[in-house]
Amino acid sequence: MIDDELMKLLVCPACKSSVRLEGEKIACTNCGLRYPIRNGIPVMLIDEAEKDDQ
């Protein structure tokens, strides 16, 4: 879905931590925000993120 090279470049816009792919979302490894992927494009906007409830 998302190219590995692109994933290496992405960071969480809220806390600047690394992110990982979780299904159809990109999840921050630190703050837990999850960003949607629409039409194969990561939407890395804080206003579009969901908070991880775990």
CATH code of the domain in which 29 resides: 2.20.25.10
Q: Can you give the residue range of the structural domain that contains 8?
A: 4-51
pLDDT confidence of residue 33: 97
Which distant-in-sequence residues (6+ apart) come within 8 Å of 28 by Cβ?
12, 14, 15, 17, 18, 19, 34, 35, 52
pLDDT (0 to 100) of residue 53? 66
Q: What is the pLDDT of residues 1-54, one digit of tens each?
A: 788 999 999 999 999 999 999 999 999 999 999 999 999 999 999 999 999 665
Q: What is the pLDDT of residue 31?
A: 95
* Number of structural domains in the chain: 1
Q: Distance between CA atoms of 32 and 47, rounded to whole angstroms? A: 14
* Predicted pLDDT at 1: 72
